[in-house]
Amino acid sequence: MNKKKFAIAGLGVRGIHQFVLPLLGRGLPDDPVFTDRAELVGILDPDRDRVAAFLGHMGVDIPWYPERATKRMLAETGADTLIVTGTDASHCRHILRGLEQGCDVIVEKPMVISAREVRRVQAAELRSGRQVRVAHNLRYTPTHRKLKRMIMEGLLGRIVNIEFTYNLDTWHGSSYFYRWNRSRAHSGGLSIHKSCHHFDLINWLLDDIPETLFATGGRAYYGPEGALRPRNAQGKPLDPVEERRQCPVFQTHYADKNDPAAAAPATGWDKFKLPYDVIYPPEQRRYIYDDAIDVEDHYAVTVAYRSGTCLTYSCNFCTPWEGYILGINGTKGRVEIKHHSDPDPTGKSQPKPTAGRIVFYPLFGGQQVFEIPPVAGGHGGADGMAKEDLLGTPSAESRELQLVAGSEAGGHAIAMGEAVVRSIKNKRQVAIGKLLPQG
């Protein structure tokens, strides 16, 4: 049996755990096995030392390629699929090179960082005849799959409106503001990097097209004027080391494991403790109150869909608990989901598989509770099934529920995120369709 050949562009933490380790047969116990049908033949990353450290740790030998060598890597390795998991701003050029070389492309969300890049990717995909798939894994949680079936079966009737509140806690939310995500040039902003997950989930549940969007938002917690920033008696910022010693975020999440004089706190995600000096130069101090921060940390959004359904959505990157509240009102009743999670790997407690719960309230009284058994694996049990769909063969359920997101779905999520930024800046409603290819 000929093995499928994968190459990867970007050896970040997500790329390692979601794609590289499973392809090497070193994934989680519940991961699908790919070693008999797939192989990793090339790694592209700007940081050669990081790749070398990872390969040494794993005891494997895979060719490394520098950042601008996508075309050469694909030609020399004979890869038939390119996995794109670098910083968000690098996605577009790697996708385009992959398609030009006749490869299918798997890309971590967000697909790209602007509607302009969406147009370029979709045009290249059409020219090449190859396929772009986007790792929108929120579709895959058992709770969301059950909810999708409920909607498809007509339990709610016609969907009238959706209320979606997403909270990130003080550890997870703050971490974006000392990583590269805090730069709009690198991430497109968190309304793209993070909210594309949420927008895609709603678009998929509704099987509908977003048409117009209005948003408000800004920065309240982070950046030089952040409300949490410690100051002296005269209201001036403290020196960087003392600032961390007095910062409630640092004291709560990092004080017992990180030196306040270090360049930046360690997130706890990188279990291999690999160097990443190209992306994060060791001499460059980074923290959540830096002048370099230019993205929002909260927003509220209203979206009108083609069918007439309305979405009200909010996202906040500094709250006491992490998770979401989702309410869906239809002509036959209402559904509610409340989900809390504990994402902090620096904490004393280890995250455990969590059960899901959907409550349906018929329009004229009573309620019906759907209990979803706990499932092991990342992102609420979504990652294992997503890995099989992307690296292996989509299941019958995946095909039925349309779990694999393509470039059209990826593009709508990006356009919505960009519309958020445009609406906040211009204080007006944005027509989402005008940002995307017509037809």
Task: Tell me the C-alpha to C-alpha distance, in Å, between residue 101 and each of 96, 124, 157.
Answer: 9, 11, 46
Between CA 243 and CA 262 the distance in angstroms is 12
So what's the pLDDT on residue 375?
Answer: 73
Amino acid identity, position 246: Q
Superfamily assignment of 4-135 in CATH?
NAD(P)-binding Rossmann-like Domain (3.40.50.720)
Percent over 70 (pLDDT), the chain = 95
Residues 6+ apart with CB under 8 A from 275: 47, 49, 50, 53
Q: Considering only CA atoms, which of 430, 391, 409, 420 is closest in space to residue 81? A: 391
Exposed/middle/buried for residue 252 (C-beta within 10 Å: 0-12, 13-18, 19+):
middle
Between CA 159 and CA 74 the distance in angstroms is 45
Sign (positive/negative) of CA torsion 228, 230, 234, 238?
A: negative
Between CA 427 and CA 439 the distance in angstroms is 28
Strand pairing report for 405-406 and 132-135: antiparallel
So what's the pLDDT on residue 380?
Answer: 63
> Cis omega before residue 353 (within 30°)?
no
Owner of token pair 């509140």 = 165
| Three-state secondary-structure class, residue 425 | helix
So what's the pLDDT on residue 59?
Answer: 96
Residue 297 main-chain phi, psi, to 5 deg: -120, 5
Q: Considering only CA atoms, which of 51, 53, 59, 102 is closest in space to residue 81? A: 102
So what's the pLDDT on residue 50?
Answer: 96
Q: Name the CATH architecture for the domain at 138-221+294-435.
A: 2-Layer Sandwich (3.30)
Between CA 295 and CA 424 the distance in angstroms is 11
Query: Is-same-fold flag (4-135; 138-221+294-435)?
Result: no
Q: Where are the domains of the chain?
A: 4-135, 138-221+294-435
Rg over CA atoms, the chain? 22
Structural tokens at position 57: 């740790």
DSSP string covering 232-252? -TTSPBPPHHHHHHH-HHHHH
Do 297 and 173 contact (CB within 8 A), yes or no?
yes
So what's the pLDDT on residue 363?
Answer: 96
So what's the pLDDT on residue 439?
Answer: 47
Do 367 and 359 contact (CB within 8 A), yes or no?
yes
Task: Tell me the C-alpha to C-alpha distance, in Å, between residue 10 and each of 83, 107, 163, 260, 290.
Answer: 8, 10, 35, 29, 26
Low pLDDT (below 70) residues in the chain:
1, 344-353, 376-382, 438-439
The DSSP call for residue 231 is B
Do 369 and 359 contact (CB within 8 A), yes or no?
yes
The DSSP call for residue 1 is -
Distance of CA 112 to the CA centre of its chain: 12
So what's the pLDDT on residue 438?
Answer: 61
Q: Ramachandran region of residue 22, left (φ > 0), alpha (ψ -120 to 50) or beta?
A: alpha
Amino acid identity, position 315: C
Q: What angle separates helix 407-426 from helix 115-128, to the nearest 10 degrees?
A: 160
The whole-model pTM stands at 0.95
